[in-house]
Amino acid sequence: MKKLFALLMFSSIALADSPYLIDDNGVYLGNLNSNRFDPNSVSNPYGRYGNKFSPDSINNKFGKYGNRFSPDSVTNPYGSGLRVIGE
């Protein structure tokens, strides 16, 4: 019984929704978690939101959301940045 309870607790924690990023227009920009296998994670180097070549990734230093000079970038300290939902 204790093992079942522990398993249920772990699964509910593991399945909890991750915080995610959106820009000022409400465009979804990926989950903020460290799961490299989550297709929507900014940590997945092969996914849409974590790939350094994707235009929708904060990891693309030449893209709108990763360029340090873009007002929508997470790396621009003077820009409007992005909103985190679900903190």
pLDDT digits (tens, 9 = 90+) for 13-71: 455 689 999 998 899 999 999 999 999 999 999 999 999 999 999 999 999 999 999 99
Return the pLDDT at 59.
96
Amino acid, single-letter form, for residue 78: Y
Return the pLDDT at 38.
96
Residue 7's pLDDT band, with cuts at 50, 70 and 90, is: very low
Return the pLDDT at 6.
43
